[in-house]
Amino acid sequence: MKMKPRLIPFAVAAMMALVPSLRTRAAAAGGAATPSHVYAISGAKVVTLAGPPVEHGTVVIRDGKIAAVGASVEVPADAQMIDGKGLEVYPGLFDAVTDLGLTEVEAVNATVDTADVGTYNPQLVAMTAVHPASELIPVARTNGITHALAAPLGGGGFRGGGEVISGQASAINLAGWTIEDMLIRRSVAMVVNWPSLQTRSFDLSTFSLRERPFTEVKQEYDKKINELADWMERARHYAQVMDKGSIANYDRDLKLEALAPVVRGQLPLLVIAEDKREIRSAVEFCDKQKLKMILGGGSESYKVKDLLAAKHIPVILGPTQSLAEDEDASYDQSYVTAGQLAAAGIKIAFASFNASFARRLPYQAANCVPYGLPYQEALKAVTLYPAQILGLADQLGTIEPGKMADLIVTDGDPLAIPTQVRYLFINGELTPTDNKHLRLYEEYRKRYQAPK
Amino acid sequence: MKRALENGDFLPLCCQRGFSSLRSYRWLNKKIGSKLLPFEIAAVLFLAVCAVRGQAADVTLIKNGTILTVTKGTIENGNVLIRDGKIAEVGKGLTAPAGAKVIDATGQYVMPGIIDCHSHIAIAGGVNEGSVSVSSMANIADVLNPEDIDIYRDLAGGVTAANILHGSANSIGGQTEVIKLRWGKPAKDLPFEGALPGIKFALGENPKRSGFSNPGAARRYPATRMGVMDVIREAFSEALDYKKAWDQYNRRKAAGEPNLIPPRRDLKLEPLLEVLEDRRLVHIHCYRADEILQMIRVAEEFHFRVATFQHVLEGYKVADEIAKHGAGGSTFSDWWAYKMEAFDAIPYNAALMTERGIVVSVNSDDASEATHLNQEAAKSMKWGGLSHDEALKLVTLNPAIQVRIAGRVGSIETGKDADIDIYDKDPLSVYAVAQKVLIDGQVYFDRQQDIAHRAGLEKEKKALMEKEKKAAEAAKPAATGRRPGPPGTARPPGTTPKPQEI
């Protein structure tokens, strides 16, 4: 559909203006709290990711789920029609690790809920802190991200210190009045910030870079690893007691209770580590402790890919638009890693690890395509593979009947910059593509159009 | 021999020794008298050609690419002829003189080198002289580090020139310099010759230390936006008093007064006088619309023009005022919400400011971001509807105009420096990869060469590490039995996974 680029924001605004009327109609028709709207997107190219794309296809959405998809699908009489001619339908993008909903303004501590006091906080759960009215959520979803893993990322990393176990990450849809509306799954992974072996860190107390002797760092590191092992051991005992049903006879321990699914092998550890020694150490630890592991971040994962492949550890890569820590690394390493891991048989996904930069997710994936990651893999790494890695593939990741209707209808390649998301479906609801940025843009254009 | 010369990679011994054709001819003449045998004629001609070819070695022809000139449209299957570091000709159907180096750009895109208007690469030992609120005596030019790997990385991302700035810790920061990313050259060869020097100011949260304070140190004035503007006004006021003292001295000296003692030189205030005399460009880090307007009023009060507002994320709110003042706007593509003053930032900023007549550039402020400024420019097509060429200008001609080097760079036009990027696809695509980057007509980055050298570099690194390990073992003191630790991470701090505003 050829439209002057300058008019697109107005088109989007016009679209947004239409949406309330659609919603009202449905509400007037006696819509309950649960989504009961029926939609049919017809005449679009439907990229299902569960087979070849359907060139002139129809997708029917009912009660929050994908009801039907195909070339010749019967459109229900009560369906609200969306003309998909010239448009494309994709599964909504999945930001596999983000602090969307947990961070509003990064520099303002009062608005940040990603890291708490203490070192071991497995009992904390992201969904208890997600702010459904965050301004950052509509900004991210306008660029095609329909659902995300809100993760308590912990305050460590570059700044040093922080939690080792920062809590459980929750899968959420990026739309809803309350967290109950948004929630896909309460506990998807246990976030572990792997202790650091870096001798150099930024010390906030002196506001400068700090270089420590390796022996000192290693000592601290070993201590933390031993503590981690100890937590797992205690959790195993606690789990045994729970299984025996004797819970009435002893004091409840919320932290150990939270770790029980981890030591039972049901809840994976999302280990955030960048350095190859730390990654290797984490893999060995999880192997020894018989824990399921997902690697998050992984900028040096390419250096230990054989180990990751052998142990079947999936990797959720941090922003590819970054520079390698290692000065001697190839200048394009951050783009090459994804392709190298994929070629080694490792399942990968991309994630923003951020809130205000989350909208860059599709470009982080696209940038890897010229460097060895096939386009289809890049697309799947922001749709299907994160769902598979996080145990949500029964609900998300492809356009197939029975799955949650988290879809985007675009005017082109969702990984390319010029593409606009024309319609957004989250949990089967047509969601406005309006956001704070569009509103400010339109508001200030008025300043310049107003007669002096 | 003829084929060897056309090949361009065969330099006869005589040329390497710098024989001029005339000298050779005279030598030959003396040798055989006035009679020239056919052999000698051939030899003379050969030497003559050698001499000419010595000059032709500085000629490069980029051929058969899509030339994005930025100022004069796009030329399909076009060529760019480079001679002595300058663009000599642009057009279709150019032929390479004998001996010229030929870069085949078939299927590729040729654009002007990207200019990053806000960069902190190549700075040794700290970006902020943050101990005082006015540090105009400090100069980035004094601490250029030519070995910063980020120079190479940004070069690989298409950046050929950058405005290297002091940080934003101070209301009035240090002096700044424009450089070309001549990777491999010493520090003295980095500065962009003839570019005006600059100075960095900063408004808002950073200079007022809102998020943090140095422990143990007394709190530094200012702590409010009022204080920030005051620091700037006081500094200019002081500078004018300083000028008065010198003017007085000069008047009296000119009048022949004896035994005059000149005023003490103040290296802090002199750069500010240069600003007032339009000999130094002011680049001002700012966010909120109100502080932008305040700064415009202060600039008007002291009769100078702000060269660029940097970041200027709320520039879209006061675009007409900025346009009227005549400042450029150098902004981010889509950064926002990392601090309070960035909470109203919108990705339509560049486009809306452009619409209102401001010369706008999109910058990086970050070595990592600078590796994909081509993509950041493209975002203004999506958010705000800029055209392809308008978007390209954001990272080429416009930053050049902003730092007043547009006579030399920023577009592909005859007479300009041959600072050129060659991409394998339209550079405004997420899928485009820079293949070659030329500065002054020399190839400073070649992706295929980079890839070809990797195995060799890896081998060399392993050998060096082995050597170091052996040396460490040998130096091990037998008495104490203490092992030296593993090699430390002796490298400059890396960047965090997400871009950071400095």
What does the pLDDT look like over B197-236, one tens digit per residue? 999 999 999 999 865 666 676 789 999 999 999 999 999 9
State the CATH number of the domain containing residue B23: 2.30.40.10
- pLDDT (0 to 100) of residue B15: 41
| Same domain, residue pair B67 and B199 | no
Please indicate whether, in this complex, the C-beta atoms of A444 and B489 are within 8 angstroms of each other. no
Which phi and psi (to 5°) does residue A94 adopt? -115, 115
| Same domain, residue pair B362 and B401 | yes
Within 8 A of A340 by CB-CB distance, chain B residues are none
Boundary of a domain, candidates B112, B147, B167: B112
Flag whether pLDDT at A8 surpasses 70: no
Which chain A residue has its CA at the smallest distance from B491's CA?
A327
Flag whether pLDDT at A194 surpasses 60: yes
| Same domain, residue pair B91 and B180 | no
Question: Which two structure tokens, joined as six digits, stand for B149?
Answer: 């790997």
The answer to whether position B91 is within a domain reads: yes
Could you tell me how many CB contacts below 8 A there are between chain A and chain B? 163
| B98 Rama sector, left if φ>0, alpha if ψ -120 to 50, beta otherwise | beta
Which chain A residue has its CA at the smallest distance from B432's CA?
A370
Within 8 A of B316 by CB-CB distance, chain A residues are 440-441, 444
Q: Which residue has the higher pLDDT, A246 or A223?
A: A223
The answer to whether position B300 is within a domain reads: yes
On the CB side of A388, CA atoms within 13 Å amount to 16
Flag whether pLDDT at B123 surpasses 70: yes
User: In terms of Cα–Cα distance, which of A294, A248, A242, A246 is closest to A273?
Assistant: A294
On the CB side of A46, CA atoms within 13 Å amount to 26
Which chain B residue has its CA at the smallest distance from A12's CA?
B383
The total number of structural domains that make up chain B: 2
Which range has the worst mean pLDDT, B52-56, B78-82, B332-336?
A: B52-56
With tokens 């005051």, the residue in question is B230
Please indicate whether, in this complex, the C-beta atoms of A213 and B450 are within 8 angstroms of each other. no
Q: Mind listing the domains of chain A with CATH numbers?
A: 5-91+432-449 (2.30.40), 93-395 (3.20.20.140)
Q: Which residue has the higher pLDDT, B12 or B135?
A: B135
Residue B475's contacts (CB-CB under 8 Å, 6 or more residues apart) are B484
Please indicate whether, in this complex, the C-beta atoms of A213 and B424 are within 8 angstroms of each other. no
Q: Give percent of chain B above pLDDT 70.
A: 82
Which amino acid would we find at residue A70? Answer: G
Q: Give percent of chain A above pLDDT 90.
A: 83
Flag whether pLDDT at B415 surpasses 60: yes
For residues B44 and B481, what is the distance between their CA atoms, to the nearest angstrom?
72
- pLDDT (0 to 100) of residue A308: 98
With tokens 């919400």, the residue in question is B337
Boundary of a domain, candidates B112, B137, B155: B112
Question: Which of A214, A331, A437 is opposite residue B347, by nearest beta carbon?
Answer: A437
Per-residue pLDDT, averaged over B114-128, amounts to: 96
Which chain A residue has its CA at the smallest distance from B490's CA?
A200
For residues A73 and A60, what is the distance between their CA atoms, to the nearest angstrom?
8
The answer to whether position B153 is within a domain reads: yes
| Same domain, residue pair B191 and B60 | no
Can you give the three-state secondary structure of B97-120, one letter per residue? CCCCEEEECCCCEEEECEEEEEEC
The answer to whether position B496 is within a domain reads: no
Q: How far is CA A98 from CA A124, A297, B37, B336, in A?
A: 16, 11, 82, 16
Question: Which of B317, B320, B338 is opposite residue A107, by nearest beta carbon?
Answer: B338
User: In terms of Cα–Cα distance, which of A153, A156, A150, A162 is closest to A120?
Assistant: A162
For residues B166 and A341, what is the distance between their CA atoms, to the nearest angstrom?
39
| Same domain, residue pair B122 and B212 | yes
Cα distance from B287 to chain A (closest Cα, Å)?
Answer: 15
Question: Which of A105, A214, A448 is opposite residue B356, by nearest beta carbon?
Answer: A448
| Same domain, residue pair B98 and B186 | no
Within 8 A of A327 by CB-CB distance, chain B residues are 149, 491-492, 494
The answer to whether position B363 is within a domain reads: yes
pLDDT-based confidence at B41, cuts 50/70/90?
Answer: low
| Same domain, residue pair B282 and B243 | yes
For the CA atoms of B468, B470, B476, B482, the dihedral, rounded to the nearest 10 degrees, stands at 80
Please indicate whether, in this complex, the C-beta atoms of B384 and A331 are within 8 angstroms of each other. no
| Same domain, residue pair B138 and B38 | no
Give yes or no for a contact between B337 and B357, defined as CB atoms under 8 angstroms apart: no
- pLDDT (0 to 100) of residue B490: 39
Question: Which of B335, B348, B431 is opposite residue A369, by nearest beta carbon?
Answer: B431
Per-residue pLDDT, averaged over A330-351, amounts to: 98
Which amino acid would we find at residue A231? Answer: W
| Same domain, residue pair B239 and B352 | yes
- pLDDT (0 to 100) of residue A14: 52
| A191 Rama sector, left if φ>0, alpha if ψ -120 to 50, beta otherwise | beta
| Same domain, residue pair B80 and B219 | no
| Same domain, residue pair B157 and B127 | yes
C-alpha A73 chain-centroid distance? 32
Range of the domain at B63: 2-112
Residue A67's contacts (CB-CB under 8 Å, 6 or more residues apart) are A38, A60, A61, A76, A401
State the CATH number of the domain containing residue B320: 3.20.20.140
Please indicate whether, in this complex, the C-beta atoms of A323 and B367 are within 8 angstroms of each other. yes
| Same domain, residue pair B175 and B283 | yes
Q: What is the pTM of this model?
A: 0.88
Q: Give the 3-state secondary structure percentages of chain A, helix then strand then coil, rounded to 5.
A: 35, 25, 40
- Quickly count: other Cβ atoms within 10 Å of residue A190's Cβ: 23
Which chain A residue has its CA at the smallest distance from B457's CA?
A328
Boundary of a domain, candidates B67, B88, B112: B112
- pLDDT (0 to 100) of residue A16: 52
Mean of pLDDT over chain B = 88
CA torsion sign for B148, B154, B156, B162 is: negative
For residues A193 and A155, what is the distance between their CA atoms, to the nearest angstrom?
9
The answer to whether position B495 is within a domain reads: no
Question: Which of A135, A356, A441 is opposite residue B338, by nearest beta carbon?
Answer: A356
